[in-house]
Structure 1
């Protein structure tokens, strides 16, 4: 299972880096193959379902705010299939790794103040209008965060930590 997930996540990272998009066929194939492997290993369907539903429920709001892409959520859901309820730890690790990556990107581009200025204007607009709107990235695509990097690092962290 670990080897399969590493192959799947590597492909997701490559597509995300190259195209800023993770193809649906990759996520569908990843889900089908992962379910088959889990079923052959005797994992219960309810455990697999929990591993899919938790990332969906935790991340769907971020999708509607445009803070997280649909492909990223699907990757998290595929990764959750073999993890079951332990996907919560995986989600936390993914977000932590992506936070570290975001700080590195901001540091590299020397844009801490600029990004916090954007965030302040966004939050003040939401408060002024009384509604939450999607957060538009005013920068060019070269400064986008590829969330799959943190997902991949979270999976590696779980392997190294003996949590899989």
Structure 2
């Protein structure tokens, strides 16, 4: 359910609120304490949280990713653990890349404006930065959430 909330919120708002990332991290800690975490043991989960957060922090520092994506990646790493992060990142990145290609095609050749509005939203400027000309049109956290859902359904069965 948490992954669905992240995906819907990021697709609609192009941001991930802190309370939603924090809620996921707290739920992951509770699942670890109860021994029902999908990511395995404490060590795997904590390394996953660090890898998720610090792995994407570089992209935030470069200005190509929002802070909400980075915080969500840390909480997600806590849920799935380090061993699941590579396939989650691959699926999420492929979907985000497809989104970017579709954006470029629709931006240069506006065939279906309603599809474009649905995919890219009406407010694509970076939130809270009125002087910025950067456009944030890829909801990366949403695609990571989809990648994690794919891993939870298919990836864990093969492991």
TM-score after normalising by structure 1: 0.69
Distance in 2 separating the partners of 1:21 and 1:162: 27
Distance in 1 separating the partners of 2:152 and 2:45: 19
Give how far 1:110 is off: 2.1
Question: Do residues 84 (structure 1) and 81 (structure 2) align?
Answer: yes
Q: Which blocks of at least 5 consecutive residues in structure 1 are unaligned?
A: 1-6, 112-135
- Larger-gyration structure (1/2): 1
More helix by share: 1
Q: Which blocks of at least 5 consecutive residues in structure 2 are unaligned?
A: 110-131
Which digits, 9 at most, give the CA deviation of each residue in 1:35-67, with x for residues without a partner? 101221164322211110111221111001111
User: Hey, what does 1:58 align to over in structure 2?
Assistant: 55
Question: Do residues 8 (structure 1) and 6 (structure 2) align?
Answer: no
User: Hey, what does 2:28 align to over in structure 1?
Assistant: 34
Residue of structure 1 aligned with 2:138, choices 145, 150, 160: 145
- In angstroms, what is the RMSD of aligned CA positions? 2.2
Which digits, 9 at most, give the CA deviation of each residue in 1:95-136, with x for residues without a partner? 12211111122122227xxxxxxxxxxxxxxxxxxxxxxxx7
Residue of structure 2 aligned with 1:49, choices 46, 50, 53: 46
Give how far 1:160 is off: 4.2
Give how far 1:18 is off: 3.1
How many residues matched? 131
TM-score after normalising by structure 2: 0.71
Structure 2 contact 52–77 (Cα < 8 Å) conserved: yes
